Chain A
């Protein structure tokens, strides 16, 4: 019951945050110096086109009217229309979001799988060579500028060795047919294993680049929390009972050490979605980060507004889910 009440409370607390976010994002379009309409249309603008755009953007109304109008549209699920492509943003955003999610999930899987295992083995074989090397890599990984790592990967594995493709999600000469916009799922649904291979090949370089920092962080956290758990009484008891080392480590210790890891994973997923803009730019990945970045270049303000708002909302929701999971997994937590 307490958990349910906590969930409801947390959900209610989201409302002012979301409202505040929408206000900040709304302020962006108002903070542009000069006439946004002329900024957008440029030197070929006719007076008529300028007047039309001002009307379309609602620039003739007072700001609070504009904000409430914007908010009302948001509640209806209308994110506005892209000035550049003139398509509704809600429609355009779908495939981009899917692309970003796919990339984020793959890099998170990579990060969790490698990070957790490296962390466990390091803790298990504390002060061994493996431990030192893993922790050194983790240290470097935490300090790695993603964009540099991405460039280096692209150079070595795509441009020099030509093992892997350098950009995009699929092979343009033989594109994947989109169903769900998640290409891995799409290729499986279509039963196209050659496409599946293509898609996986395209995911490796950006996935590794994006996943390196969380991998390093997860490895470090797993190691330190494993060390703590392994020192605790019941693990010693388990060992004393003669349970195999491997079994003890992976079953008992891991279960308890995973709680802090879970929190970090949640935080990192949110950060990755936001931070994907750099990886997506380098690897020509048609994701939402790049969508926003391109929109900044095009002065496509409705897209910038909505893109940031959507990402921030997802970020907030993921954090909420993690907090709830945390509360569920670890009953000791106080429902603040």
Chain B
């Protein structure tokens, strides 16, 4: 589960004494009870996802029809679904999918957004106009609708849903980086670097990127929450993950008709979405308070 390891990176990085503002932030963060709770929730889901094959003796895509829609029991903690598959197993394998989609969609958006934002902010002129207008136009569509449209073109699959979510959120990070670059460009040390003839790439990597990191991390953490909900929504509409993938949104729409007979098949995947999203929201809020008090409303 290489990808789930990556999951913990942004938080782990706090431990390393990069610079004193980061250490300060960590101190503030440690005192934030809500952020700690959020962190625990996510850690819990990450562990579940990584250890899924160890935790559960069942497979997420195999079940016996005779066992269909069994209520929760010692054998099946969350009961079984309409195909006799263990819901708990599906939920924890689903954690793998959701965490992966959330993380990679955000990484995709951040990379593309940062690149475009730097381009626009640093070079300005027509590049700026072009990119900024593109962002304006993309932000003019409600994001879920744009994602639906993109998937309608690409065809429904988990990968395409991930791609669509990544594309839709590019402007958020692009704008953020651009405005950051614009304000930093006027800072003395950047001007100085320019004056002594530093290369553009050097200025960007040495001065501008590190200083844009804080807001990106904050927005990105909250963005994972959004991406997870969006992926589940696409799955629910049949435009994301395809059966028998244990994606939470898809599980909801597949089990929907059994809600009266087997409510556990609908309750647990939904609760999992809510908890994961809650976890990322809590961490994001905490990070915002710690790293970038100005962003607070």
Contact = CB atoms under 8 A, between A and B. Distances in A.
B145 A292 contact: yes
B233 to A, nearest CB: 6
Given A28-B152, A145-B229, A148-B252, A312 B274 contact: no
B266 A144 contact: no
A81 to B, nearest CB: 19
A274 B142 CA distance: 5
A278 B237 contact: yes
B152 to A, nearest CB: 5
A143 B225 contact: yes
Which label, helix, strand, loop or mixed, suits the secondary structure of the A interface?
helix
Given A148-B270, A151-B270, A139 B233 contact: no
A89 interface: no
A20 B133 contact: yes
B152 A296 contact: yes
Given A21-B141, A316-B140, A144 B152 contact: no
A115 B144 CA distance: 24
B278 interface: yes
Nearest to B253: A147
B interface: dominant SS: helix
Interface in A50-102: none
B207 to A, nearest CB: 26
Interface stretch (B1-9, B193-201, B256-264): B256-264
B32 interface: no
Interface string B75-116: 000000000000000000000000000000000000000000
Contacts of A277: 144-145, 148, 237
Contacts of A145: 229, 232-233, 249, 270, 273-274, 277
B141 A293 contact: no
Which among B140, B256, B297 has the greatest number of chain A C-beta atoms within 10 A? Answer: B140
B179 interface: no
User: Which 8 pairs of residues, A with B, have the shortest CB-CB distance?
Assistant: A274-B142, A148-B270, A20-B137, A143-B278, A143-B277, A31-B153, A274-B145, A155-B259
16 contacts: A16-B136, A20-B136, A140-B274, A147-B232, A148-B252, A148-B266, A154-B259, A155-B263, A159-B259, A275-B144, A277-B145, A281-B237, A296-B148, A304-B149, A304-B152, A311-B142
